[in-house]
Structure 1
Amino acid sequence: MDDGELFPRPPAEIAPGAVHLPGWLDQDAQLRLLAACREWARPPAGLRTVRMPSGGLMSVRTVCLGWHWFPYGYARTVVDGDGAPVKPFPPWLDALARDAVTRAYGRPAGPEAYDIALVNFYDHAAKMGMHRDGDERSDAPVVSLSLGDACVFRLGNTDGRTRPWTDVELRSGDLLVFGGPARRAYHGVPRVLPGTAPPALGLTGRLNITLRVSGL
């Protein structure tokens, strides 16, 4: 439950398999996760801008743990950056992801261990086009955590990038888990909402940490 909310935001299933738990991370947990993100962002294998095969640059900046994501695959080194070995995926993130799945679905997570983290930093101009997380060989749910400025998250369908879709506001500390029928749904972030981060974080912009099972 969010602290200080005039109108508390209840947990909600925004689509079959997609569960939003507002305020799942309290302030102390957010601060710990933010401190870890700042360490992960340091080189080598630090925060980078991703170039798509078309030549365009993504507006978010990204750092990976466990496996390095590049369009469209995974490697153990930063093949599209400094070539350094990818940073290790800490066991506590697996525990966090499994707890998130249990809380979202009301049942224990599956036997597969979470072994990938993608940390995306959004400045106020950044956005994420509609895409689906299709490079993993596992259908285990994706766990998404938000820090800093709120954003509009758009969850679409599995057939394409067009409607129908549902927009939901994700704020700092929110958890979103999408698996089952929503695991391969297209989704994106059309905009960040500047100036909405909790002042105690000292963060300008938005961090999104997505935890995945590679199946690799």
Structure 2
Amino acid sequence: MDELFPRPPSEITPGAVHIPGWLDPAAQARLLDACRTWAKPPAGLRTVRMPGGGRMSVRTVGLGWHWFPYGYARTVVDGDGAPVKPFPSWLDALAQDAVRAAREASADAEPFGPARAAASAPYDTAAINFYGPGTRMGMHQDRDERSDAPIVSLSLGDSCVFRFGTVSGRERPWTDVELRSGDLFVFGGPARFAYHGVPRIHPETAPPGLGLTGRLNITLRVSGLG
């Protein structure tokens, strides 16, 4: 369906680029099918308990490396103990394509690293978060990696408000961006360690043909862990 008002790519802040509709409907369906496979146990979708005893409202599953507060492991150390599912090479190719797209949409390509994918480190870990009704994600930094390679974020299903702040803290100033199914958001360089979160999900806004109730966020990273 054509947009009543076009949504062109935009640079939210130096190093942070939003590209609406980057995944077409067929690509969204393929990625959703893969996520459903990854969500199955062992090492499947789980609720994360924070060190203070609270639980994250989103449910998550990792690929390549298992994230837990605040580190990475090769097994689900805070869950069933199973080996983490492998990170497929096609996800690295997708991430590299995403970074190239961000470079092309940016006024300054430097934050997104080398122009050629072969010149940059391979993406090797993914966090797949499922947002059901009433879920949210507080403002946080992605800082447990040993790499400053750009973060690649893909959205499937319900739209959300994505709040993108600064590297200095959780408070204002920030920019609220609507992320819809198929949208791409990449942040690197001076924006790599910016605080960001999801304060709100818009229920029943997923594309009708996708067959997903809720929102999936697929975040691809370079771990730097070797």
Give the structure-1-normalised TM-score: 0.98
Give the match for residue 75 of structure 1: 73
Instruction: Give how far 1:23 is off.
Output: 0.1
User: Partner letter of residue 161 of structure 1?
Assistant: R
What residue in structure 2 maps to residue 144 of structure 1?
153
Match of 2:219 among 191, 210, 214: 210
Q: Does 1:35 align with 2:43?
A: no
| Post-superposition CA distance 1:131-171 (Å, at most 9, x none) | 00000000000000000000000001101100010000000
Q: Give the CA deviation at 1:108.
A: 3.5
Question: 1:37-82 CA deviation, whole Å, 9 max, x = no partner?
Answer: 0000000000000000010000000000000000000000000000
Measured in 2, the distance between the counterparts of 1:180 and 1:200 equals 36
Counterpart of 1:13 in structure 2 is: 11
Cα deviation per residue 1:1-44 (whole Å; 9 max; x = unaligned)?
Answer: xx411111000001110000000000000000000000000000
Q: Give the 3-state SS of the residue equivalent to 1:83 in structure 2.
A: coil
Work out whether 1:108 is the aligned partner of 2:116: yes
The answer for the alignment partner of 1:132 in structure 2 is 141
SS for the counterpart of 2:32 is helix
Question: Quick one: distance in 1 between partners of 2:30 and 2:180?
Answer: 17
- 1:87 and 1:125 mapped to 2: Cα distance? 28
Whether the 8 Å contact between 1:148 and 1:172 is mirrored in structure 2 is yes
Residue among 146, 166, 182 paired with 2:191: 182
Letter in 1 for 2:3: E
Q: 1:121 aligns with which of 92, 107, 130?
A: 130
Instruction: Look up the SS of the partner of 2:31 in the other structure.
Output: helix
Match of 2:172 in 1: 163
- The CA distance in 2 between the partners of 1:8 and 1:187, in whole Å, is 25
1:44 aligns with 2:30: no
Moved more, 105-114 or 57-66: 105-114
Q: Distance in 2 between matches of 1:125 and 1:108?
A: 41
Cα distance in 2, alignment partners of residues 26 and 111 from structure 1: 26
1:64 matched to which residue of 2? 62
Point out where structure 1 has 5 or more consecutive residues left out of the alignment.
none
Identity %: 77
**Aligned partner (choices 196, 203, 207) of residue 205 of structure 2:** 196
| 2:47 partner amino acid | T
Structure 1 position 111, deviation (Å):
1.5
Runs of 4 or more off by more than 4 Å in structure 1? none
Give the RMSD, CA atoms, in angstroms.
0.7
Q: Which letter does structure 2 place at the counterpart of 1:18?
A: A
Paired with 2:116 and 2:175, the residues of 1 have a C-alpha distance of: 27
Tell me, yes or no, if the aligned pair for 1:101 and 1:108 is still in contact at 8 Å: no
